[in-house]
Structure 1
Amino acid sequence: MLLPVPTPAAAWVQPDAGAPAMETVTIRRDPWGTPHVYGDTSYGLFYGFGYAMAEDRLYQLEMARRSGNGTVAEVLGADFVATDVATRTGTDIASIRRQMAALSAEDRAMFDGYAAGINARIAEVLAARDRLLPREFVDAGFDPQRWTAEDTALVWIGLILQRFFGGTMEVANLALLNDLVAARGERIGRQIYDQMRWRDDPRAPTIIRQPAGADEASSVPVAPKPATRATAPLRPLSSSGAVAFRAAQVALSGLAATEGMPTASNAWVLGPERTADGVAILHNGPQQGFTNPAFVAAIGLHGAGYDLTGMTPVGLLPVLFGTNGTIAWGSTVGSLDTNDSYQEQLNPADRYQYRFNGRFVAMDRRTETIRVKGEADRAVVLYATVHGPVQSWDLPNNTAYTIRRSWHGAEVETMLGWAKAAQASDWTAFMTQAARVSASITWFYADVHGNIGAAGLGALPRRPAKQDVRFPARGDGSMEWQGLLPFSANPKAYNPGAGYFASWNNKIAPGLRADGAVFGLVDRVNEITARLDGNARLTREAIWDVGNAAAHADLNIRYFRDGIGRAAAALAPDNPARQAADAVLAWDMQLTDADRDGHYDGPGVTILQAWLSAMAEAVFADDLPPAILDTLRDLGYPAPGGRTPGSVRPAPVASLLFNALRGGAAGVPQHYDFLNGASADAVVRAALEQAVGQLRHRFGADMARWLTPAAAHRFSKVNAIGVPWAAADRTAALYQNRGTADVQYVLRPGGMEMCSLMAPGQSGFVGADGRSGAHGDDQITLFERGACKPQAVGAAQLATGSATEKTLAVPRDR
């Protein structure tokens, strides 16, 4: 099939006089629908990439584009105005255009080719709309729009960087501190705060372990210790200010509509000394939400300096998770602090002026027009200070909150670093590209020579010593960044002494302090490391099954199982509380439904949940304000018939409770005694007896009937920020806390092997008759079994035997 599409002049290098008038691009698909694109130039290769993605995911591409440029309300209505405003607030379109204009011809060719390939498919679809136009366009009443090179950059910024790499917890931390101090007074309120949002727990598991060996970098960036008291303390956050900030975060990240996703990713990489095959093996499960279709799509690119196979979010040029046959790479969300909120003091006479360096300065302002389906256009005025865009206002306290991101102005460079890493053949070249990435991300590496590596990426600000990174910085000029640290300051390790790396978005390295996650001994990465530690050489099947076990693990029981058993040991064997403890001890700590009766196997999880709830009330109800206590009551388990969380973490109460029970042995100093002088065993036993009494009242005396309904796994029809991008949800039998996609690479010299899982399937196409494409849900069965499918890696592996083949002709007309 020939698709003559003009090529922009800057998109390719001048061919020789004898070169053919057209470049031929071939798309071969494997039996699971994965497209492999073969082309000679960057423009042609990415033309085929864009075309193939548009074949599989045209509606998803359209909604990714609109999610990135802030035009969702134009086609879906007023419910998405706040989403569009949040997207445009954080996007500096003038900066993006400058970055795009500065691209080399070769780099620009990727953007132009990708857009042209999508547009070629759009033209095809509109010419045969009854057969090719996805149903979602028909239902919503609009057609796909032409794609531009700029759109690709905006998808990266608006849908990826802002949502996955652009947040902070600093304002929420300030709100928590304010509430605690108001309820308990300055001294006790701060003590409790420090036990809920601690600076550093040296016992927290880390991706890069210490002490560092000769092959392991020991330079770990840590936040400076704050001054005992800032010369001018931060103003408190009012209740209306807290609500406004939360609303801004929901609009930015889609937290409400997307049911708490995205939340995480996991990865483990083993060196040859830890595998039965004697080669490096990399496993990656990026967790970017469970959507229909998957947030990522599979692709192979062969030619123009690329020979890779992998997966990447829809609408992106870089293949974020993949292999080129020599190296493999993956990632998890980073824990380095590259963003700061600033508290701006407003002029009482003019809320659009803020104090900076001793005087009030006018905010920058621009007006954006938001088109709204079925309504008049809305003019929205957006404001910014020297630190960045205004995210929310707290007018009762005469303040506003802005955000500064170290990757601002380097968004395109960050994307190119990720894209070019796919061409690296060794750790040094890989790190050269890593140095270009300004957003906080943890990269993992393995190669066919048996080397493995990990690095925390992101441009690290050099902050003033008096800044406590847990809270907003003062915007008056006293807490300005002193430039950025060099990439050499980022934590990184190569061929570690442990023989492996493991991450489930835990702490990157010892000594790290940041404003977000409170890293402690309670961490779900322990579900991975518990299966990797030891001297055994693991088979590739066992390495894959680490993910299956983690996907079904109860993330709370590990930290309380022995304590429950110890507290109940003195009770008589026929005591119901002792029997409940014995049931917990007998439980395999997995959330499974082997007999398919619709309930988790055994009463263990039911007893644990009831005990955790009883402990939250018994230990914290007299110490915490009701609104804060409510956050500890939600244990985070997936609800049968309800929402499917993006990825479960240990319950919010688990870390706080674990530290309280350990007292002086905790890694976080316990200056405030939540147990009120009682022994840990006595508190655990009393809560167990209370929980058992409640369960006997609810279920009866027969413990075999104390069963919790098992939650089904739902693939949502909305994308990672809550924008609908499919006609309907899909479901699998049982919730699994696994990756949006899962992929494993066995880096055997001369024969890379790749196995992957990406449910529901490669295709998102739904025709006007409501029927899905052939590969819309063909991986759900694999998902339910925890299995993977073999996937071709290099160009040669798919040269013959592919399921389908299509040839595109791309003109080289200038």
Structure 2
Amino acid sequence: MQHRSRLIPRTCAALALVTCVALASAQAPDHATVPAGKITIKRDGYGIPHVYANDVRGLFHGFGYAVAEDRLFQMEMARRAVLGTVSEVMGPAYVALDKGSRSGFTPAAIRAQMAALSADDKAIFDGYAAGFNARINEVLKAQATLLPKQFNDAGFKPKADWTGYDVAMIWIGTMANRYSNVSSEVANLRLLDQLRKARGDVAGRRLFDQIRWVEDPLAPTTVPRTAAPLKTASSPIDGNAVRLAPVSPGLLTARNDIDAARRGVAEPWTRPVASNLWIAGPNKTTDGSTVFINGPQFNWFNPSYVFGIGLHGAGFDVTGNTPFAYPVVLFGTNGKIAWGATAGPLDVNDMYQEKLNPANPHEYLFNGTMRPMTRRTEVIRVKGQADQSVDVYATVHGIVTNFDLPNGTAYAMKRSWDGYELASLLGWIHSMQATNWDQWLAQASRVAITINWYYADTDGNIGYVSPGRLPIRPAAQDIRLPAVGDGSMEWLGIRPFSDNPKTFNPAQGYIANWNNQSAPGAVSDGGNYSVVDRVREFTARLEAKPRLTPDELWALNRTTAYADTNARYMLPFVLEATRDLPATDPARRAAQLLANWNMLNDDPTERGVYDSPATTLMMHWLPILYKTVLADDLPPEVFAAYADNGYAGDTQIASIRPGNGMKLVYNALLGSGAGVAQTYDFFNGEDKNAVLRATLTQAMVELETRYGRDTATWRTPVVKHKFLTNNFIGAPQAGADELLTLPSFMNRGSQNDKMVLGAHGVALCTAAPPGQSGFIAPDGRQSAHYADQMTLFKDFGCKTEAVTPAEVDRHTESTKQLTNDYP
């Protein structure tokens, strides 16, 4: 394993309002001796800032200042993207993006939460904004050297007008709205309509249940199924299905484009699938340590999606990194405990189908009377053009996302976390101050959005909880479909936090997650959790040995990054179907090719092609198999969602997983052994082994025609690993010429962190490419830390992070003190 601790020349720039002191001439005070009201920023050899202050506002002032030094353009565009003001500086091409952003939240509700904050909590946001503005003022006074080049290229300048509201909205727009503002219910209703129309009511419903099941009892769960299960999921019920109007064919198209941009996903009707994590407790490691490794998969961007930071003082003592420089370290440690996260799996939203007044489409039926929707008009300024506007409507259930006027309906999303956005963020912030499981869990109980949290401590404990406010729904409600909005299907309350999935020191000795099902009974409208799940790439390897070394655990990062997430499911069936064939039979040759493969899609010598011809075979064969098994049973527009082979392509997504068709075909191959009842025969009475042999033969013949008979020549060009210049919402956060690449795609974290805990404390090691800074000077010169973590990331290395005051001092390369600008 590669660890790096690098020194760079100690350089300081004398700027207004700051004093910069070279360590050669002075030793900056540590967090225990920082004078009252003073702020000290120490940076290490990779440019990671450690902020010291004795009061909360000062600490976060330093945080905001450091962020503005490194990521001013990225953060300015993130603010505009979440608030819906990109068009003001980038022009009419971004009006649709701004309209989508404006319709995703209610500004007055967020401001009301801000107004209700305690003085200490308000100081977090206001201090951050003040520090950010202080740096902007410095930049504006020295634009010839300090203004990031991207501002000049875009033709506008930053303003020192950041507020605590803006700081909070970065988190709300990029975390809460990206990962919790999710529903598949309208898409599911459209799917049910299509299947019924194609196959009739009975067969169509059977197909629907086989495609969008409620729960697969064979699906791997983060809370082990051997532990006491949660309340089990209800069986499908037609309670709301029979009372719902159909969905117009084109209804979802425009909305899907908005949702795909807002959440950064290719398939907006599915839950986010981003991030992996594995923790091995003392009983699972060879040296008795606890090893905690997290790989949050937000996609890969330039500048980096995450920001490295240390915060020391005012009750905080943390090191780690965090997306979009949130005022909370999402992945890190305070020296006593360590924590991390993956995307949330819980069902915290419902779409309500509202019946509209035929005489007025902005009135809807509720509790026997027609009620007017509320309306908020948002004015969008557009560079070079007249202002535009968008009307945002809402019902008693929430913001209206779609009007389906041909069917006399509208859809409104009810979110259990509405009104609790800041409480959720503050629970996360204060969890950094916890020193044990109970304290940490108490903060988790404040979190209303859906998210997965993970825990370890220096005493050898490991744990997991999935926070989120879980609605109590009527028994007649099928969670896969929209609820009836007439008042007859309202929530009955919120389940107690004790119902949320959690596990503490599981008997298996480890915790692993790759966006799989949280716990038995914890289901959702779009999770489609299955026995086919990429988390088995971790669990199979964790269970292969009774104990693993810390280096072996870190090595899982490389193995799973290149693992073929489809192969382990098909290989046993392929071998069985072909075992009696002669060695020269094409299907038998295909089986042998797969059997001799390590099931990795990698290019270890960087030749520009995948290392094994088996990769080529799998990529070509699976679409043939899916088409043969599924296409004759599903309407064409439905089959299109299951036709993809599930491999990395030219359009980079946050992470790859088994193809959608794999879940259906694998269940069909399991037959009566499947966890999902196979009431509809996708094989239509044909012998399954014969179908496998025929499709393998077809793939082999087609590949021989393309490449020749020698399978050693069947090499597929690798897909490069890209660092995109637009943020996930679609707003530019770097110049178009700043696209960076690595030789081959890696299905791993946007950053990776490894924490080893034990009696010695906590050792933290991270890699967060491209680098800490996105700064490019007006003359085009890049920061020394612009891309200095790319090779580290490519080689699966990591850099040692300073956790203790002594470690910070040993790593410090420059020190800056800020002048107090507040009472």
Shift of the 274–3 alpha-carbon distance from structure 1 to 2, 3 Å rule, reads farther
- Mapping 1:495-644, distance limit 5 Å: 495-639=505-649, 642-644=650-652
- What is the rounded CA distance, in whole Å, between the counterparts of 2:119 and 2:518 in structure 1? 37
Q: Does 1:48 align with 2:62?
A: yes
Question: Structure 1 residues 760, 671: closer, same or farther in 2, change over 3 A?
Answer: same
- Provide the C-alpha distance between the structure 2 equivalents of 1:347 and 1:47, rounded to a whole number of angstroms: 52
Aligned with residue 209 of structure 2, among 169, 194, 215? 194
Q: 1:328 to 1:541 in 2, by over 3 A?
A: same
How far, CA to CA, are the matches of 2:212 and 2:129 in structure 1? 45
Work out whether 1:324 is the aligned partner of 2:334.
yes
- Aligned residues of 1:22 and 1:810 also touching (Cα < 8 A): no
* Residue 259 (structure 1) shift: 15
User: Per-residue displacement from partner, 1:582-607 (whole Å, max 9, x unpaired)?
Assistant: 01110100011123221101210111
State the distance in 1 between where 2:592 and 2:795 align. Answer: 30
Does 2:180 match 1:165?
yes
Q: What aligned pairs does 1:128-167 form with structure 2 within 5 A after superposition?
A: 128-145=142-159, 146-167=161-182
Residue number in structure 2 paired with 1:8: none
Contact 2:451/2:467 (<8 A) preserved: yes
* Structure 1 position 656 matched with structure 2 position 670: no
Deviation at residue 360 of structure 1 after TM alignment: 0.8
> Post-superposition shift, 1:513?
2.2
Q: Greater shift after overlay, 87-96 or 197-206?
A: 87-96
> In the TM superposition, what whole-angstrom CA distance separates every residue of 1:319-348 from its partner, at most 9, and x where no partner exists?
111100000000111211101111111111
Partner of 1:105 in structure 2?
Answer: 119
Contact between 1:261 and 1:289, CA under 8 Å: does it hold in 2? no
Q: TM-score when scaled to structure 1?
A: 0.95
**Rounded Cα–Cα distance in structure 2 between residues aligned with 1:774 and 1:575:** 58
Describe how 1:130-529 pairs up with structure 2 within 5 A. Answer: 130-145=144-159, 146-212=161-227, 218=228, 220=230, 223-230=233-240, 233-255=243-265, 263-529=273-539
For residue 329 of structure 2, what is the amino acid of its counterpart?
A: V
What is the deviation of 1:254? 4.7
Q: Secondary structure at the match of 1:368?
A: strand
Aligned mates of 2:524, 2:101 — CA distance in 1: 25
In 2 relative to 1, CA 650–46 (structure 1 residues): closer, same or farther, beyond 3 Å? same
| Aligned with 2:723 (options 715, 725, 741) | 715
Which range moves more in the overlay, 142-151 or 241-250?
A: 241-250
CA–CA separation in structure 2 for the residues paired with 1:247 and 1:364: 25
Please state how far the C-alpha of 1:749 moved relative to its aligned partner.
2.2
CA change 1:83–1:401 in 2 (3 A) is same
2:794 is the counterpart of 1:780: no
- Whole-Å Cα distance in 2 between the matches of residues 600 and 21 of structure 1? 57
Structure 1: state its 5+ residue gaps.
Answer: 6-18, 213-217
Q: Which TM-score applies when normalising by structure 2?
A: 0.94
Paired residue type of 1:693: V
Q: CA deviation at 1:227?
A: 3.7
Shift of 1:253: 2.9
- CA–CA separation in structure 1 for the residues paired with 2:260 and 2:595: 40
Counterpart contact for 2:337–2:436, Cα < 8 Å: yes
Cα displacement (A) at 1:221: 5.0
| Structure 2 SS opposite 1:560 | helix
Contact 1:256 1:722 in 2 (8 A): no
Q: Partners of 2:501 and 2:138 in 1: how far apart?
A: 48
What secondary structure is seen at the aligned counterpart in 2 of 1:687?
A: helix
Look up the equivalent residue of 2:658 and give its one-letter code. P
Deviation at 1:234, TM superposition (A): 0.7
In 1, Cα distance between equivalents of 2:525 and 2:692? 31
SS in 2 for 1:747: strand
Matches of 1:737 and 1:608, distance apart in 2? 17
2:470/2:495 contact within 8 Å kept: yes
The Cα of 1:2 is off from its aligned counterpart by 7.6
Report deviation, 1:97: 1.3
CA 1:412–1:534 in structure 2 vs 1: closer, same or farther (change >3 Å)?
same
Give distance in 2, aligned partners of 1:291 and 1:2: 30
CA contact (8 A) 1:224 1:467 kept: no
Partner Cα separation in structure 1 for residue 317 and residue 239 of structure 2: 56
CA RMSD of aligned residues (A): 2.0
Please give the alpha-carbon distance, in whole angstroms, between the structure 2 residues aligned to 1:719 and 1:794. Answer: 33
The answer (yes or no) to whether the contact 2:261–2:728 under 8 Å persists in 1 is no
Give, in whole Å, the separation in 1 of the partners of 2:612 and 2:108. Answer: 59
Give the fraction of aligned pairs with identical amino acids, expressed as a percent.
48
Count of residues in correspondence between the two structures: 793
Give the distance between the partners of 2:129 and 2:770, measured in 1 at CA.
Answer: 26
Q: Which piece of structure 1 moves more, 354-363 or 790-799? A: 790-799
| Equivalent position amino acid for 1:713 in 2 | H
Q: Gapped runs of 5+ residues in structure 2?
A: 1-13, 19-32
CA contact (8 A) 1:22 1:809 kept: no
The answer as to whether partners of 2:240 and 2:482 remain within 8 angstroms in 1 is no
Q: Which moved more, 1:614-623 or 1:407-416?
A: 614-623
Q: Contact 2:451 / 2:466 at 8 angstroms: preserved in 1?
A: yes
Range moving further from structure 2, 738-747 or 797-806: 797-806
Offset, 1:98: 1.4
Contact kept? 1:280, 1:748, Cα under 8 Å: yes
What is aligned with 1:766?
776
Give the C-alpha shift of residue 794 in structure 1.
2.6
What is the alpha-carbon distance in structure 1 between the residues aligned to residue 413 and residue 127 of structure 2?
34
Contact 1:174–1:237 (CA under 8 A) maintained in structure 2: yes
Distance 1:751 1:444 in 2: 18
Distance 2:237 2:573 in 1: 38
Cα deviation 1:569-625 (Å, max 9, x = unaligned): 221112232122101110100011123221101210111122211111211121111
Asked whether the equivalents of residues 226 and 465 of structure 1 are also in contact (C-alpha less than 8 Å), the reply is: no
Which of 98, 119, 131 in structure 2 is aligned with 1:84? 98
Please give the per-residue CA displacement for 1:195-245, whole angstroms capped at 9, x wherever unaligned: 111111000000010332xxxxx3625554454444951111011223243
* SS at 2:430 equivalent: helix
C-alpha deviation, 1:262, in angstroms = 6.4
Q: How does 1:695-710 map to 2 (within 5 A)?
A: 695-710=703-718
Structure 2 distance, partners of 1:250, 1:577, is 39
Greater CA drift, 443-452 or 170-179: 170-179
Bigger drift between 171-180 and 531-540 goes to 531-540
Verify the 8 A CA contact 2:71 2:773 in the aligned structure 1. yes
Contact 1:169 1:470 in 2 (8 A): yes
1:54-88 deviations in whole A, cap 9, x for unaligned?
Answer: 11100011011112211111111222222222222
C-alpha deviation, 1:636, in angstroms: 3.0
SS at match of 2:663: helix
> Per the alignment, do residues 101 and 354 of structure 1 end up closer, same or farther by CA in structure 2, a change over 3 Å counting?
same
For residue 764 of structure 2, give the secondary structure of its aligned residue in structure 1: strand
SS at match of 2:753: strand
| Contact kept? 1:262, 1:647, Cα under 8 Å | no
Residue in structure 1 matched with residue 140 of structure 2 by the alignment: 126
The match for 2:49 is 35
1:117 aligned to which of 131, 138, 142: 131
Q: CA 1:222–1:311 in structure 2 vs 1: closer, same or farther (change >3 Å)?
A: farther
The one-letter amino acid paired with 2:711 is M
- Residues of 2 paired with 1:67 and 1:696: CA distance? 49
Distance 1:623 1:258 in 2: 24
Q: Deviations over 1:159-203 (max 9, x none)?
A: 221112111111111111111111111111111111111111000
Q: Which residue identity is paired with 2:683?
A: L
